[in-house]
Amino acid sequence: MADLTGRMIGAMQADVKTFTEIEADPSAMGQAVTVIVIAGVASLIGNFFRAGVVAGVLGLIASLLGYALFSFLVFIIGTKLMPEPTTKADFSEAFRVIGFAASPGIFNVLDDKTRIRFFSRLSPGGAGPSLLRESTRPLRAIDDEGAVLEAPIAGAAEATSSER
């Protein structure tokens, strides 16, 4: 499973074997950076109309730098501050594994509502929607005119509007 797609799928499934393989393969560094870039570009596409191209490109650069900084912190904390007796790792191993952990970011191309619908349909037995139905608190949002929109989670087909 040394191909990029197989490793991304394994990372999204949180497969220990996949992460162990990525950690042990020094040539996976390019793939890890590719995953971070793909997730960043997906986010740029998903937020295009909200943030604009310039903000998206800056976000992509910040994402790469953020993953490098986070990997460095994980490496320092895991190997210097709180190591187990058997801990042996270097920065590149940490970066590769954390880079592949960005794999679910490819779904950032979808907006929030589409993502929720997509994943709730994928959940076995409709677990996503059933968890929402069990909540007793209504959903609340404020529309452009300042009106408060409320929708009880269980059994509400449409949101009702009331002034705050």
What is the pLDDT, as a whole number, of residue 27? 92
Residues 55-102: tens digit of each pLDDT? 778 877 888 888 889 989 999 998 899 988 888 888 899 899 999 999
| Ramachandran quadrant class, 125 (left: phi over 0; alpha: psi -120 to 50; beta: rest) | left
What is the pLDDT, as a whole number, of residue 25? 94
The C-alpha atoms of residue 134 and residue 7 are separated, in whole angstroms, by: 35
What is the pLDDT, as a whole number, of residue 11? 93
Query: If pLDDT is split at 50, 70 and 90, which confidence band does 35 have?
Result: very high
What is the pLDDT, as a whole number, of residue 17? 94
Q: Contact 155/136 with Cβ under 8 angstroms?
A: no
What does the DSSP assignment read for the chain? --SHHHHHHHHHTT-HHHHHHHHH-GGGHHHHHHHHHHHHHHHHHHTHHHH-HHHHHHHHHHHHHHHHHHHHHHHHIIIIIS--TT----HHHHHHHHHHTTGGGGGGGS-HHHHHHHHHHHSGGGHHHHHHHT--SPEEEE-TTSPEEEE-TTT-SS-EEE--
Residues 5-25: tens digit of each pLDDT? 999 999 999 899 999 999 999
What is the pLDDT, as a whole number, of residue 131? 43
Query: If pLDDT is split at 50, 70 and 90, which confidence band does 43 have?
Result: confident
What is the pLDDT, as a whole number, of residue 77? 93
What is the pLDDT, as a whole number, of residue 117? 58
CA 98 to the chain's CA centroid: 12
Q: Residue ranges per domain, the chain?
A: 4-109, 117-162
What is the pLDDT, as a whole number, of residue 122? 55
What is the pLDDT, as a whole number, of residue 103? 92
Q: Which residue has the tokens 């950032």?
A: 108
Residues 120-142: tens digit of each pLDDT? 555 555 444 444 444 445 555 66
Q: Comparing C-alpha atoms, which of 154, 148, 117 is closest to residue 136?
A: 154
Query: If pLDDT is split at 50, 70 and 90, which confidence band does 2 have?
Result: confident
